[in-house]
């Protein structure tokens, strides 16, 4: 049994494709967005059977943030914003082919205050929406790359 598992791991390692992820292009002043994008993209590459390796012959993926917009949707009686809609539009540029991913999520700020935690949770929720589509895209593209 151990031999079969070892053989399976070796075969899957040999068939893995090398993908190099470039730094996230993020023109917005939200550093957590770049972190979350990179983290989710790396996870999708690994789950698709790829290896994270920047070497000669690696396929290069360029992640870009196209839109990061927070629109006020609710106000407190003191006229402070208490809830927002977060719009997120991301893209992956891979071998001159660009694919975009969209998500819109609401989130609220307690007592109309400022803070990063609700925004970070909204970013994570948006990636929860985008992630499966991103994973399917990477799997599909990886199969196309492996074809002779």
Buried b (16+ CB within 10 A) or exposed e, 108-140: ebeebeeeeebbbebbebbbeebbeebbebbbe
Pick from 92, 94, 83, 85: which is nearest to 126 by CA?
85
Specify the CATH architecture of the domain 15-146: 2-Layer Sandwich (3.30)
pTM assigned to the model: 0.81
- Distance between CA atoms of residues 101 and 88, nearest Å: 8
- For the stretch 30-72, pLDDT in tens is 999 999 999 999 999 999 989 999 988 889 999 999 999 999 9
- Structural domain boundaries of the chain? 15-146
Residue 147 has pLDDT above 70, yes or no: no
Three-state DSSP at 95 gives coil
- For the stretch 115-132, pLDDT in tens is 678 999 999 999 999 999
Positive or negative, the CA dihedral 140, 128, 47, 67 is positive
Structure tokens at 58: 């690696």
């Amino acid at each position: 049994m151990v031999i079969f598992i070892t053989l399976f791991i070796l075969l899957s390692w040999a068939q893995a494709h090398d993908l190099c992820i470039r730094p996230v292009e993020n023109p917005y002043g939200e550093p957590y967005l770049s972190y979350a994008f990179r983290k989710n993209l790396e996870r999708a590459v690994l789950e698709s059977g790829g290896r994270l390796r920047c070497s000669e012959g690696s396929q290069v993926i360029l992640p870009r943030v196209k839109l990061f917009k927070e629109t006020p949707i609710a106000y407190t009686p003191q006229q402070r914003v208490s809830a927002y809609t977060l719009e997120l539009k991301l893209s992956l540029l891979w071998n001159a082919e660009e694919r975009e991913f969209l998500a819109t999520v609401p989130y609220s700020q307690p007592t109309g205050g400022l803070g990063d935690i609700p925004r970070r949770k909204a970013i994570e929720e948006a990636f929860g929406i985008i992630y499966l589509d991103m994973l399917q895209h990477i799997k599909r593209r990886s199969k196309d790359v492996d074809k002779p």
